Amino acid sequence: MSVDQATVRRIAHLARVAVEDKEVEHLQGEINAILSFVEALSAVDVEGVEPMTSVLPMHLRMRQDEVTDGFIAADVVANAPEREDSFFVVPKVVE
């Protein structure tokens, strides 16, 4: 697949990137190089290869999923302009 200069300008517009006319030809070559690399990757036979998230085997350490307040409620509301116990007091906005 190959892109033309109009496609480069369209991609730049969609990405909200300002591209000057003198840069379009260079970007066209860059995009075409990326696309040819992707085409080369799609030609690789990956049948039977397990998907992986890392090149090294990793085991995640698990912990209990417990809901807590962080045990710092007093510190959190310490600088609040108004508070009641460990809650922020805010003006009522819904009638």
Query: What confidence tens digit (pLDDT) does each residue in 35-72 have?
Result: 999 999 988 999 999 888 888 888 888 988 888 878 88
User: Would you state the pLDDT for residue 16?
Assistant: 96
34/41 Cα distance (integer angstroms)? 11
Please name which of 41, 60, 37 lies closest in space to residue 49, comparing C-alpha atoms: 41
Q: Does the predicted model carry a pTM greater than 0.85?
A: no
CB 67 within 8 A of CB 47: no
Q: What are the domain boundaries of the chain?
A: 5-42
Greatest alpha-carbon pair distance for the chain in Å reads 65
Which residue, among 85, 81, 91, has the nearest Cα to 69 in the 3D structure? 85
